[in-house]
Structure 1
Amino acid sequence: LLWRQDVPFTVQLVLTKDKLRQTFADQPAQVITAKDNPMAFYFSHIFLAVFHGDTDQLKQQFDMTFKADNGQWTLALTPKAAPLNTVFNTITLGGKSDLERLTLQEIRGDKTDILFSNQS
Protein backbone atom coordinates (compact mmCIF):
# COMPACT_ATOMS: atom_id res chain seq x y z
CA LEU A 1 0.00 0.00 0.00
CA LEU A 2 1.37 3.41 -0.98
CA TRP A 3 -0.24 6.28 0.89
CA ARG A 4 0.63 9.85 0.03
CA GLN A 5 -0.88 12.71 1.98
CA ASP A 6 -0.42 16.39 1.25
CA VAL A 7 -2.76 18.11 3.74
CA PRO A 8 -2.52 19.07 6.59
CA PHE A 9 1.12 17.94 6.30
CA THR A 10 3.13 15.94 3.78
CA VAL A 11 3.66 12.28 4.56
CA GLN A 12 4.30 9.20 2.47
CA LEU A 13 3.82 5.66 3.77
CA VAL A 14 4.80 2.47 2.00
CA LEU A 15 3.37 -0.59 3.71
CA THR A 16 4.27 -4.16 2.79
CA LYS A 17 3.66 -7.42 4.61
CA ASP A 18 6.77 -7.01 6.77
CA LYS A 19 7.95 -3.41 6.46
CA LEU A 20 6.67 0.14 6.88
CA ARG A 21 8.59 3.08 5.44
CA GLN A 22 7.34 6.52 6.41
CA THR A 23 8.61 9.88 5.25
CA PHE A 24 7.44 13.15 6.78
CA ALA A 25 7.98 16.30 4.72
CA ASP A 26 11.65 16.45 3.68
CA GLN A 27 12.96 14.31 6.55
CA PRO A 28 14.82 11.04 5.96
CA ALA A 29 12.62 7.96 5.71
CA GLN A 30 12.03 5.87 8.82
CA VAL A 31 11.79 2.11 8.34
CA ILE A 32 9.94 -0.07 10.83
CA THR A 33 9.81 -3.85 10.61
CA ALA A 34 7.36 -6.32 12.12
CA LYS A 35 10.16 -7.46 14.43
CA ASP A 36 10.69 -3.86 15.66
CA ASN A 37 7.02 -3.17 16.41
CA PRO A 38 4.68 -6.20 16.32
CA MET A 39 1.59 -4.23 17.45
CA ALA A 40 2.00 -1.70 14.65
CA PHE A 41 2.08 -4.58 12.19
CA TYR A 42 -0.99 -6.18 13.71
CA PHE A 43 -2.90 -3.00 12.84
CA SER A 44 -1.08 -2.71 9.50
CA HIS A 45 -2.18 -6.20 8.47
CA ILE A 46 -5.77 -5.34 9.32
CA PHE A 47 -5.62 -2.23 7.13
CA LEU A 48 -3.99 -4.17 4.30
CA ALA A 49 -6.89 -6.64 4.54
CA VAL A 50 -9.31 -3.70 4.29
CA PHE A 51 -7.60 -2.28 1.20
CA HIS A 52 -7.22 -5.71 -0.43
CA GLY A 53 -10.85 -6.58 0.29
CA ASP A 54 -9.73 -9.75 2.09
CA THR A 55 -13.09 -10.68 3.59
CA ASP A 56 -11.80 -13.94 5.09
CA GLN A 57 -9.25 -12.00 7.16
CA LEU A 58 -11.80 -9.30 8.03
CA LYS A 59 -14.43 -11.82 9.20
CA GLN A 60 -11.93 -13.13 11.76
CA GLN A 61 -11.58 -9.68 13.31
CA PHE A 62 -14.93 -7.93 12.65
CA ASP A 63 -18.68 -8.27 12.44
CA MET A 64 -19.47 -6.87 8.99
CA THR A 65 -22.56 -5.01 7.75
CA PHE A 66 -22.82 -4.22 4.04
CA LYS A 67 -25.35 -1.83 2.50
CA ALA A 68 -25.82 -0.65 -1.08
CA ASP A 69 -28.17 2.10 -2.23
CA ASN A 70 -28.33 4.16 -5.44
CA GLY A 71 -24.87 3.11 -6.62
CA GLN A 72 -23.24 3.87 -3.25
CA TRP A 73 -22.01 1.14 -0.91
CA THR A 74 -21.06 1.13 2.76
CA LEU A 75 -19.26 -1.54 4.75
CA ALA A 76 -19.29 -1.16 8.54
CA LEU A 77 -16.72 -3.18 10.49
CA THR A 78 -17.32 -3.68 14.21
CA PRO A 79 -14.32 -5.18 16.04
CA LYS A 80 -14.96 -8.51 17.77
CA ALA A 81 -12.04 -8.62 20.22
CA ALA A 82 -9.00 -6.87 21.67
CA PRO A 83 -6.97 -5.00 20.79
CA LEU A 84 -9.23 -3.59 18.03
CA ASN A 85 -12.35 -3.32 20.19
CA THR A 86 -10.41 -1.37 22.80
CA VAL A 87 -9.58 1.29 20.20
CA PHE A 88 -12.43 1.39 17.65
CA ASN A 89 -16.22 1.36 17.87
CA THR A 90 -16.49 0.99 14.10
CA ILE A 91 -14.50 1.32 10.93
CA THR A 92 -16.70 2.36 8.01
CA LEU A 93 -15.74 2.22 4.35
CA GLY A 94 -17.77 3.64 1.51
CA GLY A 95 -17.75 4.54 -2.13
CA LYS A 96 -19.10 3.82 -5.57
CA SER A 97 -16.81 1.70 -7.73
CA ASP A 98 -13.72 2.55 -5.66
CA LEU A 99 -13.13 3.18 -1.98
CA GLU A 100 -13.84 6.89 -1.48
CA ARG A 101 -13.92 7.29 2.28
CA LEU A 102 -12.80 5.58 5.44
CA THR A 103 -14.12 6.59 8.85
CA LEU A 104 -12.49 5.46 12.08
CA GLN A 105 -14.80 5.94 15.07
CA GLU A 106 -12.78 5.49 18.24
CA ILE A 107 -14.02 4.32 21.64
CA ARG A 108 -12.87 7.55 23.30
CA GLY A 109 -15.04 9.60 20.93
CA ASP A 110 -12.46 10.73 18.39
CA LYS A 111 -13.39 10.33 14.74
CA THR A 112 -11.10 10.29 11.71
CA ASP A 113 -12.55 10.79 8.22
CA ILE A 114 -10.24 9.96 5.33
CA LEU A 115 -11.33 10.92 1.82
CA PHE A 116 -9.61 9.25 -1.12
CA SER A 117 -9.06 10.65 -4.60
CA ASN A 118 -7.00 9.72 -7.63
CA GLN A 119 -6.82 6.07 -6.58
CA SER A 120 -4.92 3.75 -8.85
Structure 2
Amino acid sequence: MATLHRMHRTGPHYKKRPPRKPLDGKPFAKGVVLKTLIKKPKKPNSANRKKCVLVRLSSGKEMVAYVPGIGHNLQEHSIVLCRVGRCQDVPGVKIRCVPDKTYVTHVINYFLLLVGWD
Protein backbone atom coordinates (compact mmCIF):
# COMPACT_ATOMS: atom_id res chain seq x y z
CA MET A 1 0.00 0.00 0.00
CA ALA A 2 1.37 3.40 -0.98
CA THR A 3 1.83 6.04 1.66
CA LEU A 4 0.03 9.39 1.51
CA HIS A 5 3.34 11.12 0.80
CA ARG A 6 4.05 8.87 -2.20
CA MET A 7 0.50 9.28 -3.59
CA HIS A 8 0.80 13.05 -3.26
CA ARG A 9 4.21 13.05 -4.95
CA THR A 10 3.28 10.90 -7.98
CA GLY A 11 -0.28 12.11 -8.49
CA PRO A 12 -3.29 10.08 -9.62
CA HIS A 13 -2.92 7.26 -12.13
CA TYR A 14 -5.44 7.16 -14.93
CA LYS A 15 -5.90 4.35 -17.40
CA LYS A 16 -4.94 5.55 -20.86
CA ARG A 17 -7.62 4.78 -23.44
CA PRO A 18 -6.21 3.18 -26.59
CA PRO A 19 -6.73 5.30 -29.72
CA ARG A 20 -9.59 4.32 -32.01
CA LYS A 21 -8.30 4.02 -35.55
CA PRO A 22 -10.86 2.64 -38.00
CA LEU A 23 -8.29 1.96 -40.75
CA ASP A 24 -5.49 0.90 -38.36
CA GLY A 25 -3.66 4.20 -38.74
CA LYS A 26 -3.56 4.15 -42.54
CA PRO A 27 -4.87 7.20 -44.44
CA PHE A 28 -6.68 5.21 -47.16
CA ALA A 29 -7.83 1.64 -47.78
CA LYS A 30 -9.21 -0.12 -50.82
CA GLY A 31 -12.36 -2.17 -50.46
CA VAL A 32 -15.06 -4.12 -52.26
CA VAL A 33 -18.73 -3.19 -51.91
CA LEU A 34 -20.82 -5.99 -50.39
CA LYS A 35 -24.18 -4.21 -50.19
CA THR A 36 -25.66 -0.73 -50.63
CA LEU A 37 -27.56 0.61 -47.62
CA ILE A 38 -29.72 3.57 -46.65
CA LYS A 39 -29.11 4.55 -43.03
CA LYS A 40 -31.23 6.74 -40.79
CA PRO A 41 -29.66 9.58 -38.78
CA LYS A 42 -29.74 10.02 -35.02
CA LYS A 43 -32.54 11.52 -32.97
CA PRO A 44 -33.09 15.20 -33.82
CA ASN A 45 -32.62 14.59 -37.57
CA SER A 46 -34.85 12.32 -39.59
CA ALA A 47 -34.64 11.18 -43.21
CA ASN A 48 -33.57 8.24 -45.31
CA ARG A 49 -31.02 10.43 -47.03
CA LYS A 50 -27.79 8.81 -45.91
CA LYS A 51 -26.34 6.72 -48.72
CA CYS A 52 -23.98 4.11 -47.31
CA VAL A 53 -22.29 0.94 -48.49
CA LEU A 54 -21.06 -2.10 -46.62
CA VAL A 55 -17.40 -2.50 -47.61
CA ARG A 56 -14.92 -5.33 -47.06
CA LEU A 57 -11.58 -3.58 -46.75
CA SER A 58 -8.23 -4.96 -47.89
CA SER A 59 -7.37 -5.55 -44.22
CA GLY A 60 -10.31 -7.97 -43.95
CA LYS A 61 -12.58 -5.70 -41.86
CA GLU A 62 -16.18 -5.14 -42.89
CA MET A 63 -17.32 -1.56 -42.25
CA VAL A 64 -20.11 0.78 -43.28
CA ALA A 65 -18.84 3.67 -45.43
CA TYR A 66 -20.66 6.89 -46.33
CA VAL A 67 -20.95 7.85 -50.01
CA PRO A 68 -20.78 11.65 -50.41
CA GLY A 69 -22.29 13.68 -53.22
CA ILE A 70 -25.49 13.63 -55.24
CA GLY A 71 -26.23 10.04 -56.20
CA HIS A 72 -23.81 7.26 -57.02
CA ASN A 73 -23.55 4.24 -59.27
CA LEU A 74 -22.05 1.84 -56.73
CA GLN A 75 -23.31 -1.72 -56.69
CA GLU A 76 -22.14 -5.07 -55.41
CA HIS A 77 -18.50 -5.97 -56.27
CA SER A 78 -17.57 -2.34 -57.04
CA ILE A 79 -14.09 -1.32 -55.89
CA VAL A 80 -13.88 1.85 -53.79
CA LEU A 81 -11.18 3.82 -52.03
CA CYS A 82 -12.07 4.72 -48.42
CA ARG A 83 -10.68 7.33 -46.06
CA VAL A 84 -11.25 8.08 -42.38
CA GLY A 85 -14.11 10.49 -41.71
CA ARG A 86 -17.24 10.15 -39.61
CA CYS A 87 -20.74 10.94 -40.68
CA GLN A 88 -21.76 12.81 -37.53
CA ASP A 89 -25.46 12.03 -37.40
CA VAL A 90 -25.36 8.38 -38.52
CA PRO A 91 -24.26 5.85 -35.88
CA GLY A 92 -21.64 3.30 -36.87
CA VAL A 93 -20.33 5.13 -39.94
CA LYS A 94 -16.64 5.95 -39.43
CA ILE A 95 -15.23 5.99 -42.97
CA ARG A 96 -16.09 7.71 -46.26
CA CYS A 97 -15.69 6.72 -49.89
CA VAL A 98 -13.36 8.89 -51.94
CA PRO A 99 -15.07 9.96 -55.17
CA ASP A 100 -12.59 9.12 -57.92
CA LYS A 101 -12.71 7.52 -61.35
CA THR A 102 -14.02 4.21 -60.04
CA TYR A 103 -17.53 5.61 -59.48
CA VAL A 104 -19.78 8.75 -59.45
CA THR A 105 -18.65 9.83 -62.91
CA HIS A 106 -22.06 11.33 -63.75
CA VAL A 107 -21.98 13.38 -60.54
CA ILE A 108 -18.60 14.84 -61.46
CA ASN A 109 -19.90 15.66 -64.95
CA TYR A 110 -22.93 17.37 -63.36
CA PHE A 111 -20.70 19.62 -61.27
CA LEU A 112 -18.51 20.42 -64.26
CA LEU A 113 -21.62 21.50 -66.17
CA LEU A 114 -22.60 23.77 -63.27
CA VAL A 115 -19.19 25.41 -63.27
CA GLY A 116 -19.26 25.83 -67.04
CA TRP A 117 -16.63 23.31 -68.13
CA ASP A 118 -17.60 21.26 -71.17
Q: Which structure has the higher relative contact order (CA within 8 Å, separation 6+)? A: 2
- The answer, yes or no, to whether TM exceeds 0.5 is no
Q: Structure 1 or 2: larger strand share?
A: 1
Of the two, which has the highest radius of gyration? 2
Q: TM-score, normalised by structure 2?
A: 0.24
TM-score (norm 1): 0.24
Structure (1/2) with the larger helix percentage: 1
